[in-house]
Amino acid sequence: MGLPIERMAIAALVLMSAVGMAQAQDAEAGKKVFARCMACHDAEKGVNKVGPTLKGIVGRKAGTVSGFRYSPAMKAAGDGGLVWDEPNLARYLADPKAAVPGNRMAFPGLKDPDEIRNVIAYLKAVSG
């Protein structure tokens, strides 16, 4: 008896995601992509803008930057256990509205998996 097709599809997506994350990441290229985010986010100084600072985001619980007023949806996601690890960041960066329905971020997402991996590499580099 095999796995139902839905479970096989989910398993394949998880595997592809893990393989994608294992591919090389380029923080310098990610910094260039992050330039699109800088109108709303800071990643180096720890300053909140229209969006919260992304300095230190990797490994942080969602909705917890001090002094930033999050949407109820983002606070609920964090209260529900959402932590910004690489897979969660990748999912969010690809489609913020689907990843956390009801959040306030207007950005539609990054469609290029390489750009997503590189932005995550940049965020990891400035998270220290």
Q: In the chain, which stretches have pLDDT less than 50?
A: 1, 3, 8-9, 11, 18-22
Per residue in 10-19, pLDDT (tens digit) is 545 555 554 4
**Structural domain boundaries of the chain?**
5-125
Record: fold of 5-125: Cytochrome Bc1 Complex; Chain D, domain 2 (1.10.760)
pLDDT value, residue 23 = 60
Q: Please give the pLDDT value at position 127.
A: 82
Residue type, 59: G
Query: What amino acid is encoded at 8 in this protein?
Result: M
DSSP category for residue 37: G
Helix, strand, or coil (residue 30):
helix
pLDDT at residue 7 in the model: 54
pLDDT for position 5:
58
Residue 58 DSSP one-character state: T
